[in-house]
Amino acid sequence: MLGFNSPQRELELGKMLDRLAYEDFEDANSLQIMVGCLKMALTDVQNALGDQGAMYPENVPKAAKLLAEYAARFEKLEKTTSSTEDELKKVIDDLR
């Protein structure tokens, strides 16, 4: 069907393409979740600094503490996303 001389090779390619599509979908979901989390985190930090867009110097320590808490959480999310990206690159390399 795809011009390969081997049904086995076609089957392998089909499996790799299926895996690629699945991982691409997982990447998209991960990115949507990450963007949503980033928006919530930025809103929390903004609210910690002041209300209605104000930023009060006395609130900087509170906002800095929030940023530190979010940093640890986003680091874990980033590692998961990077791992998925590495797997996706491997599948693409296997297809070549």
**Residue 48 falls inside a structural domain:** yes
pLDDT of residue 4: 59
49 Cα distance to chain centroid? 27
Domain count, the chain: 1
- pTM summary value: 0.57
**Residue 2 falls inside a structural domain:** no
**C-alpha atoms less than 13 angstroms from C-alpha of 74 in its C-beta half-sphere:** 16
**Residue 69 falls inside a structural domain:** yes
**Residue 1 falls inside a structural domain:** no
**Residue 8: its H or E element:** helix 7-49
**Residue 40 falls inside a structural domain:** yes
Letter string b/e over residues 49-73, b meaning 16 or more CB atoms within 10 A of that residue's CB: beeeeeeeeebeeebeebeeebeee
pLDDT of residue 22: 74
**Residue 29 falls inside a structural domain:** yes
Domain range holding 81?
7-95
| Per-residue pLDDT tens digits for 35-74 | 888 899 999 999 999 988 899 999 999 999 999 998 888 8
